[in-house]
Amino acid sequence: MESARSRGAKIRAAAFTYANLVPFLVFALFPFYFMLITSFKSNAELYNLQSVPFLIQTGAITDHYAYLFQRTEFLTWMKNSLVISVVATAASLVISILAGYSLARLRYRGAASFGTAVFVTYLVPPTLLFLPLSQVVVWLGISDTVWALIVTYPTFLVPFCTWLLMGYFRTVPREVEECALVDGASRMQTLTRIVLPMAVPGIVCAALFSFTLCWNEFIYALTFVSQSAHKTAVVGVTADLIRGDIYYWGSLMAGAVLASVPIVCVYVFFLDYYVAGLTAGAVKG
Amino acid sequence: MAVGHRALEIAGLPGPGRLARVREWWEQEHVFGYGLILPALVLLVCLVAYPFGMAIYFSLSDYWVGSPGGFVGLQNYRAILGNETFRQTVQNSFVFTAIALTLKAVLGVWLALLLVRRVRFKRLIRGAVLLPWVIPTALSTLGWWWMFDSLYSVVNWTAIHLGILSAPGPNWLGQSAYAMAAVITVNVWRGLPFFAITTLAGLVSIPREFDEAAEVDGAGPWARFRYVTLPLLKPVLAVVILFSTIFTFSDFNIVYVLTRGGPVNTTHLFATLAYQTGLQGGNLGQGAAISLCLFPLLATAVFFQLRYVRKD
């Protein structure tokens, strides 16, 4: 009797949980589903008010995707995004590993103030600085090139990565480092051969976040680059696929879907790192 | 290593080479520490601190794109304060942030409480919930733009077929209250995962014994949440709310893609108005003054963060 009652309660609790989770899942996923089916619908069906919008009824077509590749610079935008994201991430990681190790482990005057400074810049939103930075890239002579973004993206990547990595470096036992130093390793060797291998999960996490932040960045990419051939995928799709005429929704959605694919791929393989980085970035702060 | 090179020289022995001396200098803890922090420091001084100073200078000058102007004092601030669009933007920003933040906090905590329960496909569900936060915001907002289309809106189609709305339904992005609702919806959709997942991390770290002890004492689910879970979640929630306030207040992508600040400036936020004034209009002085309005909020947030949250 007792166990039967608790089993019934368990089932009720589970039903309650799932019933409440479903609206959240629909809310989270429906826009993606809708973008995906829109990108495969024919224009005749898209702009027919009588058709059911949730389904593809007259057959899926790939014309919108073909249009992207044949009539727009979509592939160039994807290449730009990839180059910018990889180079900016790599540069930021090197700078952040050095800074993060220095702030987490080495004792010197001013270390605490530097740590606070890094944290404060981490909170500065890009929308506060885009106007003066647009003038800085003009003065540097890199305005309207991919370099404008490669140079400016580290301004938000380095504070974030440094902060994240400091947490991971602190978990490496101090004794291990001291042993290496006593055995005659230089400080740089201790960092690269002893500490870095032990902080690999943190470095992977920082790399993933940096790549995602670069790929998704919008306001700098919109502001500093105006030539279509130098645009990133996100800005190219958002700004250049919208024409004066009306029937562009299919190719617009196709562009949005394809430009998200690299991020989705990375995300699916490294989901746990995203969760770890997200919680570390905010909660450890 | 213990004997300095100076001592070796005095003793008439050949001192270590210049390279070894440099090496010895570099191996000192403070030198090495400064050396490693230097690249990051140069970057942050040149590309964050210096531009920030420039923004302040811009806001005090009549600087236009292509023509560096002179110092004009507080004239830009006086001009924007007298500007109807700016006052509308201030109001929009507070309405937008207050409603979006409240929804994200309430729904986020609720979602976290659901996610912490034992369910099947836990990883899959968490992955799905986090997705809106990972996909480029500008691109997913394009999807929402299509969903709020004036003629083919799927939101209206569904509501009309469910009998909630009468045809033809509202023109979401063309009427001010609906446009604000649309912008807030997308912001909540995009920011909810951040709230839920970080709150979840906070929930997981609370020992189950507290909850069980309260249950044994006869506390109902609401009382357990209100008097046990919520007080223990407070530190995590404080950080998340602080972060979210900054990033909601300074939002640009969603409004820019969805409404460009329209209709008639009723969804403009500081960032979009600064973009319109400073870059599209070319008035860098006023644009900088508008974006610097984000600064008092940022400063307050940083103060609280440093004073209370990071104390431990």
Say how far apart CA A276 and CA A167 lie, in whole Å. Answer: 12
- Judge: A282–B287 Cβ closer than 8 Å, yes or no: no
Nearest CB to B55: which of A17, A131, A234?
A: A131
Q: Decide if B279 and A34 are in contact by the 8 Å CB cutoff.
A: no
Query: What backbone phi and psi angles, to 5 degrees, belong to B274?
Result: -65, -40
Cβ separation of B201 and A279 shorter than 8 Å? Answer: yes
* Residues A246-273 pLDDT 10s: 668 999 999 999 999 999 999 988 888 8
Task: Tell me whether residues B274 and A111 touch, CB distance under 8 A.
Answer: no
Number of A to B CB contacts under 8 A, please give it.
279
Fold classification of A65-283 (topology level): MetI-like fold (1.10.3720)
* Residue A148, pLDDT score: 96
Residue with tokens 């700016």: B86
CA–CA–CA angle A162, A234, A86 (5° rounding): 40
pLDDT in tens, B257-293: 999 998 999 999 999 999 999 999 989 999 999 999 9
Of the residues A128, A139, A166, A283, the best mutation for testing chain B's interface (the one with the most B CB atoms within 10 Å of its CB) is A128
Nearest-angstrom CA–CA distance, B126 and B116: 10
In this prediction, residue A283 carries a pLDDT of 46
Which residue of B lies nearest to A235 if distances are taken between CA atoms?
B138
Q: Look at A274 and B295 and tell me if their CB atoms are within 8 Å.
A: no
CA–CA gap between residue A72 and residue A68 (Å, rounded): 5
Nearest to A131 among B41, B136, B274 (CB): B274
Of the residues B29, B47, B124, B158, the best mutation for testing chain A's interface (the one with the most A CB atoms within 10 Å of its CB) is: B47
Nearest beta carbon to residue B143 from set A130, A188, A256 = A256
Closest approach of B187 to chain A, Cα-based (Å)? 12
Task: Answer yes or no: do A28 and B51 touch at CB < 8 A.
Answer: no
Chain B residues near residue A192 by CB distance under 8 angstroms: none
Q: Is the dihedral of CA A120, A122, A127, A132 positive or negative?
A: positive
* Residue among A13, A54, A283 minimizing CB distance to B202: A283
Cβ(B157)–Cβ(B148) below 8 Å: no
Tell me the torsion sign for CA atoms B251, B255, B257, B258.
Answer: positive
Measured in angstroms, the CA of A133 and the nearest CA of chain B are apart by: 6
The verdict on a CB contact (< 8 Å) between A24 and B111 is yes
Contact B250, B271 (CB under 8 A): yes
Question: A278 pLDDT band (50/70/90 cuts)?
Answer: confident
| pLDDT of amino acid A256 | 96
Residues A124-141, mean pLDDT to the nearest whole number: 92
Distance, in angstroms, between A77 CA and closest chain B CA?
Answer: 14
Q: Are residues B284 and A135, on separate chains, in Cβ contact within 8 Å? A: yes
Q: Which amino acid is at A160?
A: F
Give pLDDT tens digits for A61-115.
999 999 999 989 999 999 999 999 999 999 999 999 999 999 998 999 988 899 8
Q: Are B47 and A88 in contact (CB under 8 A)?
A: no
Question: To 10 degrees, the CA torsion angle through B109, B114, B118, B123?
Answer: -80
Show Cβ contacts of residue A87 under 8 Å, excluding neighbours closer than 6 positions: A150
- State the residue for tokens 């989770």: A21
pLDDT of residue B15: 59
Selected for mutation to probe chain A from B23, B34, B142, B147 (highest A CB count within 10 Å) is B142
Joined together, the tokens standing for residue B187 give 């912001």
Indicate yes or no: CB of B298 within 8 angstroms of CB of A106: no
Per-residue confidence (pLDDT) for residue B2, from 0 to 100:
47
SS3 content of chain A, % helix, strand, coil (to 5): 80, 0, 20
Residue among A27, A128, A283 whose CB faces B198 most closely? A283
Task: Test B36 with A106 for CB contact under 8 angstroms.
Answer: yes
CB contact under 8 A, A158 and B43: yes
Boundaries of every domain in chain A: 2-61, 65-283
Query: What is the model's pLDDT at position A137?
Result: 94
**Bridge partners, B67 (sequence order):** B64
Put simply, the answer to whether B152 touches A53 (Cβ < 8 Å) is: yes
pLDDT tier, A284 (very low <50, low <70, confident <90, very high otherwise): very low
Chain B residue closest to A105 (CA)? B33
Contact B126, B194 (CB under 8 A): no
Question: Mutate which of A127, A220, A223 to disrupt the B interface (most B C-beta within 10 Å)?
Answer: A127
What structural domains and CATH numbers belong to chain B? 5-59 (no CATH), 75-311 (1.10.3720.10)
CB A58 within 8 A of CB A64: no
pLDDT tens digit at each of 312 positions of chain B: 444 555 555 555 555 688 889 888 988 889 999 999 999 999 999 999 999 999 999 999 988 877 777 888 899 999 999 999 999 999 999 999 999 999 999 999 999 999 988 778 888 898 999 999 999 999 999 999 999 998 889 999 999 989 888 878 899 999 999 999 999 999 999 999 999 999 998 898 888 888 888 888 888 888 888 898 999 998 889 888 988 999 899 999 999 999 999 899 999 999 999 999 999 998 999 999 999 999 998 888 888 877 776 654
Per-residue pLDDT tens for A9-67? 888 888 899 999 999 999 999 999 999 999 999 988 888 888 888 988 888 899 999 99
Question: Taking CB atoms and an 8 Å limit, are A114 and B275 in contact across chains?
Answer: no
Q: How far is A263 from chain B (nearest CA, A)?
A: 7
Residue A206 CA to residue A186 CA, distance in Å, equals: 26
Smallest CA–CA distance, residue A74 to chain B, in Å, is: 14
Could you check whether the bond before residue A125 is cis, i.e. omega within 30 degrees of 0?
no
Q: Are A185 and A194 in contact (CB under 8 A)?
A: yes
Contact B55 A132 (CB under 8 A): yes
Q: What is the DSSP letter of B27?
A: T
Q: A182-200, pLDDT tens digit by residue?
A: 888 899 999 999 899 999 9
Distance CA A170, CA B279 (A): 43
**Cβ-based neighbours of A116, under 8 Å, separated by 6 or more:** B306
Residue whose token pair is 């991919």 = A146
Residues of A in contact with B117 (CB under 8 A): 13, 17
Calculate how close chain A gets to B13, using CA atoms only, in Å. 23
Q: How far is B14 from chain A (nearest CA, A)?
A: 22
